[in-house]
DNA sequence: GTGAAAGCGCTAACAC
DNA sequence: GTGTTAGCGCTTTCAC
């Protein structure tokens, strides 16, 4: 009977199994150099006693840390919440702990969080969310991560390519090309873009996709207004207001994520502009509410939960010679927020 | 210059500051028994060197663990995402790490997560989300937590009262009383409830509030249909279908959370039933999308992010003789999804 | 194949 | 006030 306040230690298991501490450790870690019978017996005893290793002692003694640090812009953004959900799921299967921290779309905060996680000796770092166009920021993050990796840490990122690590890459460009193509097919020629703040690579990539689709129609990005605002519902509302006042000829708005699209829809409703009869709206991501909006949102589906799962799975594999890249694929989901361009 | 692969240790700081390990430790922990000058010097050196303590060593040596375990039903549910956001915010200020795990609304899974967190030696445990009506489950959780507390762990919960620990308590009953009162004031007499699965105390409490409002009008819960389904959008859709087919006289639906309300709205739209002209709908929680739905949702606002902040703040305080309770307050937010009962 | 023993980096008694 | 030292519970050489 352990003293109250004292939890089961490995030595207790070892004694009960009639082996040494070292053997017990090897057995539970599934390492070589223990006969099958002994190893089995130890595991058996450990299970019976309900032994759980002390992760602090384990990590301190040099074993790899079993915690994964997940950096997201903001956990209450559904995009990141769904990614986190996937990460947590895999982590639970693997017996890993997930530490979540916020970067708040601030490159310096992100760097701070990164350093903090490294100082905390997490074993795996996952970074979700757009990269920054600022090369200095990316370089610093890259240096930090490469140092971390050289000490045995594992890293994977979601949605950024400039970090030289394993990456899950959303189909930003192809997705928005499909989105713009869909609107062009419907006859829209006065398209406006509600974009997030400049400086995020996600924005850049998604705009590039639109550009590419426009070119195929002999149009150019130069002809269409791009309004930069926050990458949030509030930002969408602001962008929509500006588009309505400055570009009244607009018949379709491409919001570069679903959050902005929701803001756009909200503003159009306030202005009594029927969607899609008078204005088509598209989003990007297909967060789970997108289907339940009124009108339901035409958007690009990204498998966010899967992306979280994929990222952690990548990080769980041994590091490869060159960074792996896992494109996510995408799917144009046509719903009720888009329709033919109004004849004018 | 530390060897590559070797991080800064406290002893390095101590040497640089010309003091012993113990003094350095005391200085950084801000503990008694060090002269101000020395302490300042040590802190100064630590800052210059960019020293961050190894939390594993620290915890192992007996200092309190600086990680907080947060158990939520599901992180990609906006209710929990917003709570988590508040927790993460305070944790960041306090230099704490947040570990998030899922219970998936499964009492046994919750118990497993709890035991796991305790085995992991977290210092603080936060549990968010409804309790269970099953006394066995609550008793087991309670026992586990009280053992954890007796070993110095700190606990706070959000939205459950049967655990004998500090609690942030959403105004479930008063909120739904206000909600039902609002509908009754509008003349609705055929009200249906779209409820989550039985067995959750949140459901019980919110139904009790409705009951109380009904009684004030001389009505009773017996007269109104309660459809139990999942506490999610999908559950809301199913409940709405059933209400429409089995209780066609209904003029108002109380969904016991916003997720269900969204499902209800979605189904009503599919049936071309105008809201609020022909059917009023209310939700509960005021998740951030509620205002952006069409029609925007009348609901009870709960300050989720604050609730997260509050819970961690409670847990950070020393334990009091008797569990503290912090009611959240609530606010009836009337939007476009409710209107006068149609004359029939 | 198994055991003994030396740390990992820190905190907390305990001396001075 | 400050320093010395014994662990915390585990992994990992190094002997056997």
**How would residue B4 be classed by pLDDT, with cut points 50, 70 and 90?**
very low
CB contact under 8 A, A100 and B81: no
Could A5 and B269 be called an inter-chain contact, meaning their C-beta atoms sit closer than 8 Å? no
pLDDT of residue A294: 87
pTM of the predicted model as reported, rounded to 2 decimal places:
0.93
Structure-block tokens of residue A179: 């989105």
Domain ranges for chain B: 1-62, 172-303
Q: Are A144 and A114 in contact (CB under 8 A)?
A: yes
Which pLDDT does position B233 carry in this prediction?
Answer: 94
pLDDT at B344: 62
pLDDT given at position A3: 35
Taking CB atoms and an 8 Å cut-off, how many pairs form between chains A and B? 133
- pLDDT at position B6, please? 62
A54 interfaces chain B, CB cutoff of 8 Å: yes
So what's the architecture of B172-303 in CATH? 3-Layer(aba) Sandwich (3.40)
With CA of A60 and C1' of each nucleotide, the nearest comes out as C8
Task: Using the predicted structure, report yes or no on whether residue A78 has a pLDDT greater than 60.
Answer: yes
pLDDT of residue B343: 84
Find which of A26-35, A95-104, A256-265 is predicted with most confidence, using mean pLDDT: A256-265
pLDDT of residue B3: 35
Q: Is the CB of residue A126 less than 8 Å from the CB of residue A68?
A: yes
CA of A180 to C1' of D4 (A): 72
| Average pLDDT estimate for A167-174 | 97
Q: Is A84 on the interface with B (CB under 8 A)?
A: yes
1.10.260.40, 1.10.3470.10, 3.90.1010.10, 3.40.50.300: which CATH number matches B1-62? Answer: 1.10.260.40
Give the pLDDT confidence score for residue A41 in this predicted structure.
93
Q: Which of A56, A98, A288 shows the shortest C-beta gap to B99?
A: A98
Model pLDDT for residues A271-301, shown as the tens digit of each residue: 999 999 999 999 999 999 999 898 999 999 9
Q: What confidence tens digit (pLDDT) does each residue in B118-136 have?
A: 888 889 999 999 999 999 9
For residue B216, the distance in angstroms to the closest alpha carbon of chain A comes to 35
Q: How far apart are CA A302 and CA A307, in angstroms?
A: 8
Q: Do domains A1-62 and A172-303 have the same CATH topology?
A: no
Q: Which of residues 108-167 of B touch A (CB under 8 A)?
A: 116, 119-121, 150-151
Helix axes B10-17, B21-29, angle to 10 degrees: 100
Query: Is the pLDDT at B248 greater than 60, yes or no?
Result: yes
Percent of chain B with pLDDT over 70: 98
The mean per-residue pLDDT over the stretch B127-154 comes to: 91
* d(CA B23, C1' D2) / Å: 7
- pLDDT bin (cut points 50, 70, 90) of residue A173 is very high
């Amino acid at each position: 009977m352990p003293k109250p306040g004292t939890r089961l230690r490995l030595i207790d298991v070892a004694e009960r199994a009639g082996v040494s501490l070292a053997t017990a450790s090897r057995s539970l870690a599934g390492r070589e150099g223990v006969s099958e019978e002994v190893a089995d017996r130890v595991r058996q005893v450990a299970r019976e006693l309900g032994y759980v290793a002390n992760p602090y002692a384990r990590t301190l003694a040099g074993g790899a840390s079993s915690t994964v640090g997940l950096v997201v812009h903001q956990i209450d953004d559904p995009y990141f919440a769904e990614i986190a959900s996937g990460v947590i799921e895999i982590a639970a299967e693997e017996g890993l702990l997930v530490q979540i921290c916020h970067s708040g779309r601030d490159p310096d905060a992100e760097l701070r969080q990164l350093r903090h996680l490294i100082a905390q000796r997490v074993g795996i770092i996952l970074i979700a969310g757009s990269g920054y166009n600022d090369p200095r920021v990316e370089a610093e993050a890259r240096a930090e991560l490469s140092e971390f990796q050289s000490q045995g840490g594992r890293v994977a990122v979601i949605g950024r390519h400039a970090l030289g690590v394993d990456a899950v890459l959303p189909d930003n460009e192809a997705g928005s090309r499909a989105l713009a193509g869909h609107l062009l097919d419907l006859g829209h020629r006065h398209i406006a873009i509600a974009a997030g703040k400049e400086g995020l690579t996600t924005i850049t990539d998604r705009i590039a996709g639109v550009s590419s689709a426009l070119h195929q129609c002999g149009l150019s990005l130069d002809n269409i207004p791009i309004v930069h605002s926050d990458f949030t519902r509030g930002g969408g509302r602001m962008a929509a207001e500006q588009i309505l006042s400055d570009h009244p000829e607009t018949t379709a708005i491409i919001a570069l994520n679903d959050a902005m699209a929701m803001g756009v829809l909200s503003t159009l409703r306030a202005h009594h502009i029927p969607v899609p009869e008078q204005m088509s709206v598209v989003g990007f991501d297909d967060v789970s509410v997108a289907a339940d909006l009124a009108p339901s949102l035409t958007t690009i589906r990204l498998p966010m939960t899967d992306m979280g799962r994929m990222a952690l799975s990548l990080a769980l594999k041994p590091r490869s010679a060159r960074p792996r890249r896992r494109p996510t694929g995408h799917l144009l989901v046509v719903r009720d927020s888009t329709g033919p361009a109004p004849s004018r």
